[in-house]
Amino acid sequence: MTTPIFTTSKDDHTYHTMILGTSGQGKSILRQAEAQRLGITYEELLQRLEPTEAQKEQWRMCQEKKDQAEAQRLNAVREAFWNNTPDGDHDLRQLHDVLVVSGLVKEPSLEQIKAFLMMLPADIIGSALSWGFTDTEVRERTYEFAEQNKQSVLEAIRAK
């Protein structure tokens, strides 16, 4: 049902009005109406809606807990992939080749390949689980990761 304020009638025809643009300097019309209802300024309403420092800290702690759980889950997936992929598998050979082509190491050991695998981000791991590391897009993204993070990859594989 169309609200009468947005319809007009002329010559026995009903027309609809479309309002384009902002309510004024990018302010929410609903918040403006609420501020007016409360008898306060728009800025005062925004201050009231702002979370307290305790709420911000609680949110930050909750987010840290979620991030930590996500990191643990990702590491478990990486470990499961490593433990269930036989030596010499084409996916491991692909990781080997990325390290060689990137110029990071001439002949990486299995431990160096694992160190590289364990630092790959979630999006590459997810794609690799779906398509394999030999998939063109996954292979390119893996190589780009190695190139963009050469120093940290080098440090991780030198430690092994």
Residues whose CB is less than 8 angstroms from the CB of residue 41 and which lie 6 or more positions away in sequence, other chains included: 35
Q: Is residue 40 assigned to a domain?
A: no
Q: Is residue 42 assigned to a domain?
A: no
For residue 160, the model assigns a pLDDT of: 73
Residues whose CB is less than 8 angstroms from the CB of residue 74 and which lie 6 or more positions away in sequence, other chains included: 122, 125
What is the number of structural domains in the chain?
Answer: 1
Q: Is residue 95 assigned to a domain?
A: yes
Which domain range does residue 84 map to? 53-158
Q: Is residue 64 assigned to a domain?
A: yes
Q: Is residue 61 assigned to a domain?
A: yes
What is the pTM for the complete model shown? Answer: 0.68
Q: Is residue 31 assigned to a domain?
A: no
Per-residue pLDDT tens listing for the chain (160 residues): 445 555 666 677 776 666 666 555 677 888 888 999 999 999 999 999 999 999 999 999 999 999 999 999 999 999 999 999 999 899 999 999 999 999 999 999 999 999 999 999 999 999 999 999 999 999 999 999 999 999 999 999 988 7
Q: Is residue 101 assigned to a domain?
A: yes
Q: Is residue 70 assigned to a domain?
A: yes
Cα(34)–Cα(16) distance, integer angstroms: 27
